[in-house]
């Protein structure tokens, strides 16, 4: 089609290993017991006798992960024109390595300074903890990166979706005042971020 319509979020996340654990470790291993009814900061540990090498291994899809290791890794794929829109990771710094394609990336400091860069295959870039950042594939071919985080559970808060697509919604007048725009514009943007039913 002729349309230059913005192509939002033509990207795929594969969380390989949600390894994890940012407080210091107190044992060699604490593989997450995801079936435990008990919830703690992070996860309880599986019994050591039932740990195998597969707990440390992943073939491209999320796996139970390694509790307490303080690191995680994901792969992100971007279609041509695809944007990983402005977002934060509340609990981690991110470093990306470009596997293929090209990307324009940037982060914003608390002094509202934009620090941006164009990346190609093999390049590496860092996004400091908690700061707003984005990646855009302005190229004509797909791009992909490996992203490393220094937390087992960095969290991701995508700003458009959280502000305009939350449940319950953020009141229109707050968003209009925050972005200095009209309630009508806010209502229109909200229609694009309807939570899935």
Residue with tokens 């992960």: 65
* Smaller CB separation from a second copy, 141 or 185: 185
**Which residues participate in the annotated binding site for oxalate?**
84, 89, 94
**Pick from 64, 79, 108, 142: which binds a second copy (CB under 8 A)?**
108
Return the residues of window 8-37 that contact a second copy according to CB under 8 A: 8, 16-17, 19-30, 33, 36
How far is residue 16's CA from residue 99's CA, in Å, rounded to a whole number?
Answer: 15
Return the residues of window 141-170 that contact a second copy according to CB under 8 A: 146, 148-153, 155-157, 159-170
Contact between 95 and a second copy by CB under 8 A: the answer reads: yes
> Quick check: helix, strand or coil at residue 190?
helix
> Quick check: helix, strand or coil at residue 112?
coil
Return the residues of window 43-72 that contact a second copy according to CB under 8 A: 44-47, 51-54, 56-60, 66-72
Q: Using a CB cutoff of 8 Å and minimum separation of 24, what contacts does 106-111 make? A: 106/133, 106/134, 107/131, 107/132, 107/133, 107/134, 108/132, 108/133
Binding residues for a second copy, total number by CB under 8 A: 122
């Amino acid at each position: 089609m002729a349309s230059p319509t913005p192509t939002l979020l033509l990207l795929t996340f594969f969380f390989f290993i949600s390894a994890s654990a940012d407080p210091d470790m107190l044992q060699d291993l604490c593989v997450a017991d995801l079936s435990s009814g008990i919830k703690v900061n992070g996860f309880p540990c599986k019994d050591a006798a039932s740990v195998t090498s597969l707990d440390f291994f992943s073939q491209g899809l999320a796996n139970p992960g390694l509790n307490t290791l303080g690191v995680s890794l994901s792969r992100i794929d971007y279609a041509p024109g695809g944007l990983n829109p402005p977002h934060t990771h509340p609990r981690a710094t991110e470093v990306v390595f470009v596997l293929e394609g090209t990307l324009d990336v940037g982060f914003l400091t608390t002094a509202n300074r934009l620090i941006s860069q164009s990346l190609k295959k093999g390049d590496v870039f860092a996004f400091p903890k908690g700061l707003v950042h984005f990646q855009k594939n302005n190229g004509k071919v797909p791009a992909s990166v490996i992203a490393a985080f220094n937390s087992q559970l960095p969290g991701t808060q995508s700003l458009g979706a959280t502000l305009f697509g939350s449940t319950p919604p953020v009141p229109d007048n707050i968003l209009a005042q925050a972005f200095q725009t009209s309630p009508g514009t806010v209502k229109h943007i909200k229609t694009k971020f309807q939570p899935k039913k």
